Amino acid sequence: MDFMTDQDVQKYREDGYVVLDGLLTAQECDELRQRMSEIVDRMDVPEHCRTTFSTYHDEQLKTQMQGNADYFITSGDKIRFFFEKGVFDDKGEFIVPKQRSVNKVGHALHAYEPLYKKVTHSPNVQGIAKKLGLSTPVILQSMYIFKQPGIGGEVTPHQDATFLYTEPLGRVMGLWIALEDATVNNGCLWFIPGSQNSGISRRMVRTPEGTFPLTDFIGREQTYDEEKFVPTPVKKGGVVLIHGEVVHRSAENMSEDSRHVYTFHIMEAQETRWSPDNWLQPTEELPFPPLYTK
């Protein structure tokens, strides 16, 4: 039997998202978490990430901002670290335990970390893409998101196609895998069902070569009616399929529990134009890998 049923497909098409339980076993989730803990233990934290704005003069501040922006925009084919606010003191030392400082790790775990690669290309994931009729799916990016206890920040309402724009739209899907129970208390996702049908309100684009900032927005995120958001708890090992245009958000994590997830985005590459204005670009080092391989 297919891991994704016809009813799941219908729900995904109608609402723009669907939760599928049991993509991974508890043990697989724990192995991914364990591996991430090792990666964080050994991480190299660049100087521009460590230093707080308050210790800078204007010129240094500019250099630091450019360093951070460059670190982000060139992270598509690397494994890099992005931190919660206020986790370093003015000497660049961690104020909180290192393992509790990271907001996310991205954006090429699917390519360079064997355990993550295996999950990304697993038969169940390939089965989901086939069930949805994707003929030539490729993997765009991957992230590990920590939503740290007490300090894990909110993710404001957005559509993923704002950042991962294609022509036509409707070609991108996120797979968001809960490596721990994601609950209303620890910052699960919230969706506006059906919101994938109204196009996108904002695009993040690269600015011309040699200018700063490196990216800008065209258009504005709309203000959404709070009442329309539906909370979407997911049990450890479950996956949420996220349509590229569905509006979603997550709240701060004020609880004492973390909410670790592994997430990646795929794109139907057939008859799709990946925008050269997107921040994320395939590189010689890492062209977008086809999903239907091991």
**Angle at Cα 162 formed by Cα 159 and Cα 168, nearest 5°?**
100
Return the number of other C-beta atoms located less than 10 Å from residue 63's C-beta.
14
The yes or no reply on residue 61 touching ligand AKG (CB under 6 A) is no
Shortest Cβ distance from residue 94 to ligand AKG (Å)?
A: 23
Of 187 and 289, the one with the shorter C-beta distance to ligand AKG is: 187
Shortest Cβ distance from residue 294 to ligand AKG (Å)?
A: 25
Cβ-count burial 29-48 (b if 16+ within 10 Å, e if not): bebbbebbeebbeebeeeeb
Contacting residue, 18, 24, 105, 261, with ligand AKG by CB under 6 A: 261
Dist. CA 149–CA 49, nearest whole Å:
21
The yes or no reply on residue 160 touching ligand AKG (CB under 6 A) is yes
The yes or no reply on residue 141 touching ligand AKG (CB under 6 A) is no
Shortest Cβ distance from residue 98 to ligand AKG (Å)?
A: 21
Please check whether residue 161 is in contact with residue 201, taking contact to mean a CB–CB distance below 8 angstroms: no
The yes or no reply on residue 155 touching ligand AKG (CB under 6 A) is yes
Contacting residue, 248, 286, 289, 291, with ligand AKG by CB under 6 A: 248
Please check whether residue 287 is in contact with residue 226, taking contact to mean a CB–CB distance below 8 angstroms: no
Of 4 and 240, the one with the shorter C-beta distance to ligand AKG is: 240
The yes or no reply on residue 196 touching ligand AKG (CB under 6 A) is no
Contacting residue, 196, 250, 258, 278, with ligand AKG by CB under 6 A: 250
Dist. CA 261–CA 178, nearest whole Å:
5
User: Looking at the chain, how many residues does it have?
Assistant: 294
By CB under 6 A, the count of residues binding ligand AKG is: 10
Dist. CA 159–CA 178, nearest whole Å:
20
- Of the candidates 172, 184, 166, 204, the residue with the CA atom closest to the CA atom of residue 249: 184
Measured at CB, which residue is nearest to ligand AKG? Answer: 250
The yes or no reply on residue 145 touching ligand AKG (CB under 6 A) is yes
Residues that bind ligand AKG (CB under 6 A): 145, 147, 155, 160, 174, 187, 248, 250, 261, 263
